[in-house]
Amino acid sequence: MSEWKEIKLGDLGTVVTGKTPSKNNPEDWGNDTLFITPSDYRNYRKWADDSIRKLSADGAERLFNKVLPVGSILVTCIGSDMGKVVMNREDAITNQQINSIIPNTDVVNSDFAYYLLVDLYETLRIYGGDGTAVPIVNKGDFEKIDALIPEKDEQRAIASVLSSLDDKIDLLHRQNQTLEQMAETLFRQWFVEEADEGWEEATIADYAEHTKISIKPSANPLSIYAHYSIPGFDNDKEPIHELGQEIRSNKYQVFKYTILFSKLNPHKDKRVWLILGEVPENAICSTEFQVVKPYNDNHLYFLYGWLSNSDNYREISSGVGGTSGSHQRISPNEIFTFSAPRVSDEVLEDYANSVKPIFLKQQINQTQIRTLTALRDTLLPKLMSGEVQVVDIPVHVLKKSKEARPEFKEAILIAAIVRTLFTPKIGSVSRQWYQKIAYLHKRKLKEQSEQQSVFELTTEYSKKAAGPYKKKMRYQGPEGICLKNRYLVAVNDYAFMPSEDIHKIDNYFDKYWNKELFENWTMKNFRFVPVKKLGVYATVDYSLLELKKEGKELSAFNVLDNISESKDWKHKKDLPEFSAQNIEQAIIDLKNLYTY
């Protein structure tokens, strides 16, 4: 083991405290740059790749000295959320409640720095609670916090072990998201697209009872309860195990094969929790959840699909009320009197048999997530203290997927596209040109993958990938990797050409991007298509995926409607290339290229 040395957090890199745009500049808000606040952290695990609010290009320009490049470490430093840590997957700005470190990679490995801050959670909370009514760690105090770090090689080894576990956890979560989308699509097909007009109207109460068996955990102070709470739902749908003496108020008993529907702020946060057959002993839930217990177990999956359907959920949650703006609720009657079709037991049993394997696979993945999370949380403090060395960890734990970081993979694709399109006569390849072809290639690659649904494209790929580009953030992320590794050279602010080390991408390209597909399908179909037409193809394809996901007709009218309703896209409806005729032709062309 190398010698560990003491260092101040401020010496790990540049510390940046965020800032909120002035109320005098409403134009600073938009859809270009992530604006991260502690409220966003409930949606993150290790990585921050979206935010509730975003800044415009003007807003990011005004706060240029607060921009955090990819791979920065963002730490909440105020209030009850003190000490939460994430890394950003794209450039971001935070509010003043977050201190961030832009790592100096000559001093510290970025992933190691992330885990170091995670391990300092209790230290941060102690600093923050030093006699103040609201816990807070200001920038000065944050920079002075002591930490221990080993040599760079050991940092990389430690980060590799922990990142491997986090990567596996993230993959399982993404698989579960895809499975959820598959179940939603199947439900819509059975009960929306192919609904029987002869089905009579019923209500949720015709299918399920409202179970309210009250449990008083404090009456059994030393018993351990599996508490299905609001925080538990927000924390990857994991019940929290607590002693009875720690739970002060009464709860509801939770049964297997039930649905928990939150009545708290449903218009803000969608919380519908499907409970299958594996329910821990002493399972209870918050009284903010309403327990929906089907009379027939085969009705469970239909009820879950019906209650979580976006249109139905929106209608149910529209009945919120209450005197507090932050705590509004719906009456349980809104749930149980909500209309539903009266479907025969035979149809519901057939549907249950068709969708059950999807949810069982989700359950298996969730068990794996639980195991891997516990292993990571056990190893982290031992590795960060030097109590355990990487050489002490069993080989099966160290075994790491060779999957590269998304930014590096994207850089390889960008470089390959630029190399293929570039000719001395053209002189350079524009950012817009390579972006559209990258999208269209990824779209086909994902369609051919047996492991992923093309619907993932509408969750992992921002609309901006098929639309406008953030000019302010050029040369960051994948572009920065291309330039740093000398795969490409920037001709000007928006165009590139191959550089001296472009040949090095050949070591990676086929592994990540399917060379045969790229050469014989993507380039064959799109190499000589004008850039504006590629933009129409990318936007229309993405829109068709969204329409398909929502069960809407794949028509030019609906595509235009989708474009008009999008903040990122609405400007396109006025562009001549987005005429109804061109969109209609694009739909015809795309249906010959992709499956919808």
DSSP for 424-440 reads: TTT--EEHHHHHHHHHH
> 26-51 burial by CB neighbour count: b if 16+ within 10 A, else e?
eebebbbbbbbbbebbeebebbbbbb
Q: Phi then psi for 53, rounded to 5 degrees?
A: -115, 155
The per-residue pLDDT for range 233-247, each reduced to its tens digit, is 988 899 999 999 999
Mean pLDDT to the nearest integer, 214-243 = 94
Q: Phi then psi for 212, rounded to 5 degrees?
A: -135, 55
18-22, 69-73, 503-507: least confident range: 503-507
The sign of the CA dihedral 369, 371, 375, 377 is positive
Confidence category of residue 131, pLDDT binned at 50, 70, 90: low
Tokens describing residue 205? 């109460």
Q: How confident is the model at residue 396, as a pLDDT? A: 60
Q: Say if residue 13's pLDDT is above 90.
A: yes
First to last CA, the chain: 55
Q: What is the helix (H) or strand (E) element at residue 304, kind and residue range?
A: helix 300-308
Tokens describing residue 305? 């699909």
Closest CA to 306 of 256, 272, 333: 272
State the Cα–Cα distance between residues 554 and 544, nearest whole angstrom: 6
Q: Say if residue 327's pLDDT is above 90.
A: no
The sign of the CA dihedral 160, 166, 169, 170 is negative
Three-state helix/strand/coil letters over 232-273? HHHCCCCCEEEEHHHCCCCEEECCCCEEEEECECCCCCCCEE
Q: Say if residue 311's pLDDT is above 80.
A: yes
Q: Say if residue 375's pLDDT is above 60.
A: yes
Tokens describing residue 276? 């299958």
0.95 surpassed by pTM = no
Q: Across the beta sheet with 495-498, what order do the strands follow?
A: 429-430, 495-498, 488-492
Q: How confident is the model at residue 458, as a pLDDT? A: 47
State the Cα–Cα distance between residues 180 and 358, nearest whole angstrom: 8
Alpha-carbon separation of residue 395 from 384, 391, 399, 485 (angstroms): 19, 9, 6, 32
The answer to whether 183 touches 41, Cβ cutoff 8 Å, is no
Confidence category of residue 564, pLDDT binned at 50, 70, 90: confident
The per-residue pLDDT for range 252-269, each reduced to its tens digit, is 999 999 999 999 989 888
Q: What is the mean pLDDT of the chain?
A: 89
State the Cα–Cα distance between residues 18 and 25, nearest whole angstrom: 17
Alpha-carbon separation of residue 248 from 218, 219, 239, 253, 263 (angstroms): 6, 10, 17, 15, 20
C-alpha atoms less than 13 angstroms from C-alpha of 69 in its C-beta half-sphere: 16
List the beta bridge partners of residue 272. Answer: 261
More confident residue, 347 or 277: 347
Any idea which residue has 């014989």 for tokens? 520
Write 499-507 long-range contacts (CB < 8 A, 24+). Answer: 502/415, 502/419, 505/412, 505/415, 505/416, 505/419
List the beta bridge partners of residue 147. Answer: 7
Q: Say if residue 326's pLDDT is above 90.
A: no
Q: Say if residue 338's pLDDT is above 70.
A: yes
The per-residue pLDDT for range 430-446, each reduced to its tens digit, is 999 999 999 999 999 88
Q: How confident is the model at residue 163, as a pLDDT? A: 93
Q: Say if residue 465's pLDDT is above 50.
A: no
Mean pLDDT to the nearest integer, 452-458 = 50
The sign of the CA dihedral 338, 343, 346, 349 is negative
1-10, 450-459, 537-546: least confident range: 450-459
Q: How confident is the model at residue 399, as a pLDDT? A: 57
Those residues with Cβ within 8 angstroms of residue 494's Cβ, 6 or more apart along the chain or in another chain: 430, 431, 432, 471, 474
Q: How confident is the model at residue 269, as a pLDDT? A: 86
* Other CB atoms within 10 Å distance of the CB of residue 528: 8
Closest CA to 165 of 451, 373, 403: 373
The per-residue pLDDT for range 150-207, each reduced to its tens digit, is 999 999 999 999 999 999 999 999 889 889 999 999 999 999 999 999 999 999 999 9
Mean pLDDT to the nearest integer, 16-36 = 95
More confident residue, 80 or 444: 444
Q: Say if residue 295's pLDDT is above 90.
A: yes
Burial class (CB in 10 A: 0-12, 13-18, 19+), 242: middle
Q: How confident is the model at residue 87, as a pLDDT? A: 96
The per-residue pLDDT for range 29-60, each reduced to its tens digit, is 999 999 999 999 988 999 999 999 999 999 99
Alpha-carbon separation of residue 460 from 174, 282, 431, 553 (angstroms): 10, 38, 20, 23
C-alpha atoms less than 13 angstroms from C-alpha of 553 in its C-beta half-sphere: 7
5-19, 138-152, 271-285, 471-485: least confident range: 471-485
List the beta bridge partners of residue 498. Answer: 488
Q: How confident is the model at residue 469, as a pLDDT? A: 44
**217 secondary structure, DSSP code:** G
Q: How confident is the model at residue 45, as a pLDDT? A: 92
State the Cα–Cα distance between residues 355 and 468, nearest whole angstrom: 38
Q: How confident is the model at residue 500, as a pLDDT? A: 84
State the Cα–Cα distance between residues 146 and 4, nearest whole angstrom: 12
Alpha-carbon separation of residue 405 from 61, 264, 517 (angstroms): 27, 38, 22
Separation of CA 272 from chain center: 18
State the Cα–Cα distance between residues 199 and 30, nearest whole angstrom: 45
Confidence category of residue 467, pLDDT binned at 50, 70, 90: very low
Share of the chain above pLDDT 70, in %: 91
Q: How confident is the model at residue 261, as a pLDDT? A: 96
State the Cα–Cα distance between residues 469 and 288, nearest whole angstrom: 42
Confidence category of residue 138, pLDDT binned at 50, 70, 90: very high
Torsion of CA 485, 487, 490, 491, to 10 degrees: 150
State the Cα–Cα distance between residues 362 and 372, nearest whole angstrom: 15
